[in-house]
Amino acid sequence: MTSNRPVEYFRQHSALADWLRAVRAEARNTILAEDSTRSGRLELLSQLMGLPIIEAVTFDGSEVASRSERFTSFAGSAQGRYAVRAFPRREDGGQVHRNRNLPLPALVDWLTQQDLDLNSYEIEISQHLPNHWATIFVVNSDGVIGEIVRGSLRQLTQGGPGTAPSVSYVHDFQNWKMEAPTPEWQQTAAAAVAYTTVPDADIRARLHSALNCEFARDLHLCGYFEAIVTPDGDIRFIDYNISLGDQVPAAFVHLMMDQRGSGGDVRGRTASRGSVTGRARVVVFEDIASAQLTDGEVLVCVEPTPDMVPLLAKAGGLVADRGGVLSHASIVCRELAIPCVVGTTNATEIIPDGAMIEVNADAGLVRVLP
């Protein structure tokens, strides 16, 4: 049974803003500005192309603080559990406060107890739906790159101890590459990806005019997508972001289609391209607080956490046992332009702390040097 006790959810499941602290301000603010307006884009996609979404309602923070008539009316009809996100209306961004999986009164009580001037925030409220499946994918000019998990979306974006195994997939608009345990995995991913096809030229023109979005092969809406599948089998999209989609080059499709992962001591998936040779600094969960990294050393970990962001800012590369190509940590590595290999399963066991290693992220390979 899920507790109704408010918790600081955002500290356990950090927002993208927490991960982007190490990224240059211009890129960070561009991504966060688009992240804060995603509900409007999703509503437009729902109206024009029938994209199934989880509807969100946005209030000025002053409406929540004063319990305005509009907010009170909404709260009076709220049933079940909800999610809340509070965005600061500052050009330099700031902490995004969020919590979920609680009745709306408990979420509002939690929000008003935070050290916030609600008049400076916009509050987004949406229903919380349980995740039976979750998938993240990017559509670009050459195809689709994605990951799917039988579990929650958080497991793909942030991971953490106990994260269920995910499966990566690539689709070049003709062929699929996916090492799935059963056909159901690919069928579920394909069903979500199919919603991004827009055969009507007039609708494509209206979307391009409103969002400045692009279409691959005059058919497939390009960008970054997050979607869940409820226990009843309903697909619901919860994010569409153009700038995050642009971050994944078209070449990634061919690179991942052709990647065989042969050779090397450790093999994984390419999350950020490039190569680097440097000393490995192996950091496990219990050592994060005391971990030190010299500029240019390669961070080797079970899975990156928000606490490791200061280490990523100094790292010459990242190698991780877990995590996906579209996770928050991988987004940070691409913005920092450092090579990153994820999903190795055993890097922290194979690579000794302090060893010199060669990371060939394009091939998804890591070699321990003599």
Q: Hey, how many other C-beta atoms are within 10 angstroms of the C-beta on 182?
A: 8
CA 196 to chain centre: 18
pLDDT confidence of residue 261 = 57
HSE toward the beta carbon, residue 324, CA cutoff 13 A: 29
DSSP state of 191: H
Residue type (1 letter), 67:
R
- Residues in contact with 101: Cβ distance below 8 Å, sequence separation at least 6, in sequence order: 2, 9, 81, 83, 128
User: Does residue 178 sit in helix, strand or coil?
Assistant: strand
Which of helix, strand or coil describes residue 273?
A: coil
Burial of residue 308, with CB atoms counted within 10 A of its CB: 0-12 exposed, 13-18 middle, 19 or more buried: buried
pLDDT value of residue 278: 95
CA Rg, the chain, in Å?
21
Q: Which of 238, 216, 355 is nearest to 298 (CA)?
A: 355
Distances from the Cα of 169 to the Cα of 96, 139, 179, 253, 263, angstroms: 30, 12, 8, 10, 22
Q: How far apart are CA 323 and CA 133, in angstroms?
A: 17
pLDDT score for 25: 74
pLDDT computed for residue 297 by the predictor: 95
Q: Extract the tokens encoding 290.
A: 């005391």
In the 8-state DSSP scheme, what is residue 110?
H
Q: Which residues of 121-130 are buried (b: 16+ CB within 10 A; e: fewer)?
A: bbbbbbbbbe
How many other C-beta atoms lie within 10 A of the C-beta of residue 165? 12
**pTM for this prediction:** 0.87
Q: Fill in the amino acid letter for 331.
A: I
What structural domains does the chain harbor?
9-36+55-127 (no CATH), 133-252 (no CATH), 261-368 (3.50.30.10)
Please give the chain's pLDDT, 370 residues, in tens. Answer: 344 444 443 434 566 777 877 777 777 777 777 877 888 999 999 999 999 999 999 999 999 999 999 999 999 999 999 999 888 876 555 677 888 889 999 999 998 888 888 999 999 999 999 889 999 999 999 999 999 999 888 888 887 656 678 899 999 999 999 988 899 999 999 999 999 999 999 999 999 999 999 999 999 999 999 999 999 999 999 999 999 999 898 988 988 888 765 667 899 989 999 999 999 999 887 666 677 888 899 999 988 888 888 899 899 999 999 888 999 899 999 999 999 999 898 999 999 999 999 999 999 999 999 8
Question: CB neighbours of 336 closer than 8 A, spacing ≥ 6?
Answer: 22, 23, 272, 312, 313
pLDDT of residue 330: 92
Question: What are the DSSP calls for 296-336, one per residue?
Answer: TPEEEESS--GGGHHHHHH-SEEEESS--TTSHHHHHHHHH
The region, left, alpha or beta by phi > 0 then psi within -120 to 50, assigned to residue 173 is left
Instruction: Yes or no: say if 45 and 238 are a contact pair by the CB < 8 Å rule.
Output: no
